[in-house]
Amino acid sequence: MYQSINQYKDFLYQQLWETDLSTLPRGRCGLIQTLRLLYVVVHELTAGQLTLRAMSLIYTTLISLVPLLAVSFSVLKAFGVQGKIEPFLLEFLTPLGPKGEEIGVNIIGFIDNMNVGVLGAVGLGMLFYTVVSLVQKIEQTFNHIWHIDSPRSFIRRVTDYLSVLMIGPVMVVSALAMTASMVSSTFVQYVIGIEPFGTIFYYIGLTVPYALIIMAFTFMYIFIPNTRVKIGPALTGAIVSGILWKTGGMLFATFAAGSAKYDAIYSSFAILIMFMIWLYLSWLIFLLGAQIAFYRQYPEYVRPLRGSIEISNREKERLALLAMYWIGKNYYQGLTSWTLQTLSTQLGVASDLLSNTLNHLTHSGLILEINDKDTTYIPAKDLDAITLYELINITRNANDIAFGYTLAQPEVERVLTGLDQAYTSVLGSKTLREWISEHNKAPESAKHA
């Protein structure tokens, strides 16, 4: 029996991962791609990273929730619509049932008691620091999912985070107010009274909460990671996570309704425990959608083995040449410098692979990082001072370890010397400028840049 189970598993593995998708009909190809995506997402959950990060975000949320809502409340108060924040909070806490309403009332009470005017400069600064720290923690989690090593700079964190926290609540409340005004208009009410428009409007009303959650998740999947996320993958992840979150909320509400025995066990702590469980599930679903968005944007990571992609030395040389060519070309023609995200999109390469190559070229003194609003890359030397042989040689000797003479073998050294001579004979002393100018004519004003 054990042998038959292994044979069945091998058969499924071959059908899932060793099938040539180019030979299959579109329907079956889509099914296999979906099953592959499901396979790797389940593996991510079982690996434990998503669950651990969701747990860490519970603590951060508990510490930062009241300051976050206080900032939003203060912004909305300036527009006279501060009462609109309570429905959002109660909507999030709906799965907790009556306990959720009690928690929501207590949180709103904390916010009402927080007088920003008496905090002082230091207290106000700590308030904003706590809020920014929450978003920074979320960004770090997203950067891990998207294999991004470099976070936003401090200036970008402050400007990006606070702009969203300031403008976001006003935009959301304004959109909801406009929608409510349109629905309550005489013309819309007249149309609703005519069938089948009334029935259609009813079903649209059922889908609106899902649509709002999906829109919010899509925005966050695009905004939070320190990389360029395409709207298609972000929307795919948001649709899955949004439906899971709303459906999971209904199921959790059923669970919470039958949790009277937990009150007997944990007494007054039962409310906090239920709240933390719902926070954990919410963050886990949210991060799961981000993981799906990553796999949709970079399908090369959809494979049976976890971890970073290991590429051959030949592909490392190819990637170094491609990166140096495009960085040198834009500099040569006086065009906009590349960022990690724009160059990754241009080459169609996952950003973490390209990031490793750019870091190595930077440490080797071939390119420079220019830290402005976005980190950009330019050649570190004149294009005539960079030879293709130097570039290849640096790439070949990446992470080279000097073992000393104990590993020296004359027969092996002759082969390696022959390879070096072959590279020299093919590349000669051709410089980066000569290589680029063979295929590109730069503007006269940029030739001597």
Per-residue pLDDT, averaged over 183-207, amounts to 68
- pTM value is 0.68
pLDDT value at residue 235: 93
Residue 224: per-residue pLDDT: 86
Residue 447 binned pLDDT confidence (cut-offs 50, 70, 90): very low
User: What local confidence, expressed as pLDDT, does residue 240 receive?
Assistant: 93
Amino acid at 15: Q
pLDDT in tens, 177-189: 555 555 566 766 6
CA distance 247 to 122: 42
> Cβ neighbours of residue 367 under 8 Å, at least 6 residues apart?
324, 327, 358, 361, 377, 378, 379, 380
C-alpha–C-alpha distance, residues 57 and 64, integer Å: 10
Average pLDDT for 194-202: 71
Q: What is the pLDDT of residue 130?
A: 74
* pLDDT band at 446; cut points 50, 70, 90: very low
Question: Which residue type occupies 127?
Answer: L
Query: In this predicted model, what pLDDT tens digit does every residue of 216-269 receive, in sequence order?
Result: 889 889 888 887 888 999 999 999 998 998 888 888 777 776 665 665 565 666
Q: What pLDDT sits at residue 449?
A: 40
Residues 130 and 124: their CA atoms lie apart, in Å, by 10
**Residue 359 corresponds to which tokens in the numbers above?**
């870091």
Under the banding of pLDDT at 50, 70 and 90, the label for residue 440 is low
Rounded to an integer, the average pLDDT of 191-196 is 70
Statement: residue 307 has pLDDT above 60? no
Q: Which residue has the higher pLDDT, 172 or 319?
A: 319
Torsion of CA 216, 242, 85, 66, to 10 degrees: -100
**End-to-end Cα, the chain, rounded Å:** 72
Which pLDDT value is given to residue 172? 63
Q: What are phi and psi of 312, to 5 degrees?
A: -70, 165
Q: How confident is the model at residue 62 (pLDDT cuts 50, 70, 90)?
A: confident
Q: Which residues pair with 370 in a beta bridge?
A: 376
pLDDT digits (tens, 9 = 90+) for 129-171: 777 777 888 888 888 888 877 777 777 777 777 777 666 666 6
